[in-house]
Amino acid sequence: MYDIDPELREKIVQLHVQEGRTFKSLSDEFGYPASTISRWVRQYCQAAANNKERAQALANMEKLCALQKEIEELRKE
């Protein structure tokens, strides 16, 4: 396992995701095995997907709460 600064790790992942750099070119530039960089990218993508799901779930819960409040107000009328 490599002891790497999280900011550097994120930078390497972003170079692949946003700029399309290959694992080999990043490996050559930064000195980490391509397989390690590939794993970092996979972990990053999984975390991003989980964050999107969480954000959507939170938005749905907020909408549900607003609708429940509206129903309560309508019942009072």
Residue spans of the domains in the chain: they are 6-76
Residue indicated by tokens 């996979």: 42
User: How many whole angstroms from its chain centre is CA 58?
Assistant: 16
Separation CA 40–CA 21 (nearest Å): 14
pLDDT band at 1 (very low <50, low <70, confident <90, very high): low
Count Cβ atoms below 10 Å from residue 21 Cβ, excluding itself: 15
Which residue type does 12 have? I
Separation CA 63–CA 34 (nearest Å): 43
Residue 13: closest CA among 28, 24, 3, 23: 23
pLDDT in tens, 4-63: 899 999 999 999 988 999 999 999 999 999 999 999 999 998 888 888 888 888 788 888
